[in-house]
Chains A and B, each alone.
Chain A
Amino acid sequence: MTTLVPLGAFIALSAALFFIGMAGVLVRRNAVVILMCVELMLNAANLALVAFSRRLGLIDERGSVFVVFVFVIAAAEVAVGLAIVLALYRNRPTVDVDEVREMKG
């Protein structure tokens, strides 16, 4: 008898991680930290994908394939996002998102 960790646990963990990341995006001021939290959210998604892919009983690798693509996207996104933050920092030496209000109105 194998006592497997139930699928729900994985999904709940994924949800917890996702919403912690979201809280971080909504709460922190530093733009780089926000980017980090976004990465956390992406990870949570990956976990959910893999869990469903492996545990739902279909011989289906599509979940994992999608995860590979999510890796790619996440990497690209971090690169570009940091480029933007750096350009912003160059313009005025701040990465505080509350201070950057040029788009007001």
Chain B
Amino acid sequence: MLPAEASRVADAIDLVWLIAILPLAAAVVNGVLGRRWLGKWTGGVATVALGISAALGVAVLFETIGLGHEAKRIVTLYEWIGVGDFHVPVAALVDPLSATMVTVVTVVSFLIHVYSNGYMAHDRGVHRFFTWLPLFVFFMLVLVLADNYVLMFVGWEGVGLCSYLLIGFWFERPEPYVAAKKAFVMNRIGDWGFTIGMILTFFTFGSVRFGEVFPKVAEVHGVDPTMLTVIALAFFLGATGKSAQLPLYSWLPDAMEGPTPVSALIHAATMVTAGVYLVARSTALFAAAGPALLVVAIVGAATAVFAATIAIVQFDIKRVMAYSTVSQLGYMFLALGVGAPIAAIFHLATHAFFKALLFLGSGSVIHATEEQDMRRMGGLRRKLPITYWTMLLAGGALAAIPPLAGFWSKDEIVGAAFTNGYPILSGIGVLTGLLTAFYVTRALYMTFHGEPRDHHLYEHAHESPAVMTIPLLLLAAGSVLAGVVLGFPPEGGFVHRFLEPAVAVEGAAQHAEPELVAILGLAATSVAAGLIGIVLGLAMYGRRRPDPAAVSRAAGPVYTLLRNKYYVDELYDHRFVELMRAAFGAAWAFDIHIIDGIVNRLGWVAGLVGGGIRRAQTGVVGNYALSIAAGLVLLIAVYGGYAMGVLRR
């Protein structure tokens, strides 16, 4: 430690744990006092706490920028587990990657909290909402700040729990709690992978702290490379569960049963990005793990296109956004898999802004019309102007139209895939971009343009209050500016220089610097694909040429397949859930008949023996005296035996 450092005053990084503890405190206060006393004011409590956290988060970010190239500091609270060789401290690793995540999480959470004050104002359970939501932020921050896998897992599990609580928020109806259960169980399957990864990491590296594991990767690679692959794949399984990739994705569309701010925060901007963060953080591990990265890339790309194909035929506006999220997360994993972790994080950040905006805007529409089915909407841009224009910007960002944020990050992913030697995956990315542009155009057009299809709905629609529209505006600003400010020029922007030390891997294969021609060419291809998608969407839904109804009839079985989401849920239910039910039945029968049976038999035997011995208790005193006398005879016999040498002492 340099002498100058030793004598500095405490700075924002020292207070980094405060960022997490403030939302926790808000959650506790709201939980204890919310029902009886605070009521609606729980929203204010949570929002203020989040505001301070966000300010602190930005301060930490600036300080981390100021730390320069070797930017990394660890802030330890206390040692949580110290058993033999296994040490798990509660410590925060503050480096560019975690600072970025903290900023994204706290700023977006803050805006969504502000929004929720308006959206949830009339809900009966508003105090519950503002208990679980900041609690979720706390766990997410623990996840992002942790300096070791075990503490990260605490946050990982915690966000899963809060997701369950918030998806099932309106538990009086059956769909929300079924969806919550499904989300939690699928997450759990992923968690199993994470746990295996954690355990194997400890046994292979002797520690679970990032600072101690990653430097040793090269050494372990020389000794046992397959173990690294196994660990990486195990962690990736966890990531697929949490980030809704194939095959553990189908919980995310169902999670739309939760309130829209929840969908915006948890299922767009933060929790689902935890998987991306995990892989990004473990870059050193994955880079040396052989085929694991290829698996990540393929799964990401496949998920991206798969989800996009489903999104194009959904009619529920939130479901469109949900599948879009799954698809965009696929992009992030594709980026991680082709060796461009910075692009993945960049896209994570921009996506957080525009997807949250899309969700909040949808929430605004739902708030205005009490309806989620786009077939009953139409022409709402005249009634909801702010919502319309902000959603338009967000939609453009999603479709990767320059100079909006989404263009810079998505284009970089597709470009990196191509230049790092994965042209097929790159092509899939471009195709998905086309589909993305198409479905977002479709959604926006059906909702805001054309003639209103339900006049009653239309008449009653009204723009949302300021508390809801201001966050929309702020997020729109982010969607527009973030890309240019952070990511320009491509591969050389601020975000690249900033994040590079955090994800750098010693001795990793250096990718060829792409030439300007290649960059421009790829960019043009992406933009072209996006424009084609938009034009197609406008043509089909604006001019009815070709008419969507006719197209869907013509595509018959394909349309049905897409409409029913490839029957994945039915497949899972039939194959896996039925299997599990059979297993449960068997286990229950085993418990009842064998375990309980053994205990009952033992009891019966005891009863039998007791009954037998009981016959000695005749109640007649003389019999007891007789048995004493009989004992005496026995004693005399024994002593006689000793005396006569027959028995030995």
Binding site for B on A (CB under 8 A): 22, 25-26, 97-98, 100-105
Contact = CB atoms under 8 A, between A and B. Distances in A.
Contacts of B614: 105
6 contacts: A25-B625, A98-B622, A100-B620, A101-B620, A103-B621, A104-B620
B625 A98 contact: no
Contacts of A22: 629
A66 B604 CA distance: 52
B622 A103 contact: no
B625 A101 contact: no
Contacts of B629: 22, 26
B617 A97 contact: no
Contact of B618 (A25, A26, A101): A101
B626 interface: yes
B619 interface: yes
Given A97-B622, A98-B620, A104-B620, 8 more contacts: A22-B629, A26-B625, A26-B626, A26-B629, A97-B620, A101-B620, A103-B619, A103-B621
B619 A105 contact: yes
B619 A26 contact: no
Interface residues of B, number: 10
B621 A97 contact: yes
A102 B619 contact: yes
A41 to B, nearest CB: 11
Nearest to A99: B620
Contacts of A103: 617, 619, 621
Contacts of A104: 617-620
Nearest to A22: B629
Interface in B15-50: none
Contacts of B618: 101, 104
A26 B624 CA distance: 9
Contacts of A98: 620, 622
Contacts of A26: 622, 625-626, 629
A103 B618 CA distance: 7
Contacts of A101: 618-620
Interface in B577-631: 614, 617-622, 625-626, 629
Contacts of B619: 100-105
B623 to A, nearest CB: 9
Nearest to A104: B619
Closest A-B pairs by Cβ, 3 of them: A104-B619, A101-B619, A103-B619
Contact of B617 (A25, A100, A105): A105
A104 B621 CA distance: 10
Contacts of B625: 25-26
A22 B617 CA distance: 21
B628 to A, nearest CB: 9
Contacts of B617: 103-105
Nearest to A29: B622
A26 B629 CA distance: 9
A16 B617 CA distance: 30
A26 B623 CA distance: 8
B229 to A, nearest CB: 71
Contacts of A97: 620-622
A105 B615 CA distance: 7
B635 to A, nearest CB: 13
A82 to B, nearest CB: 15
A101 B617 CA distance: 10
Contacts of B622: 25-26, 97-98
B626 A100 contact: no
A102 B620 CA distance: 8
A60 B140 CA distance: 93
Interface in B203-262: none
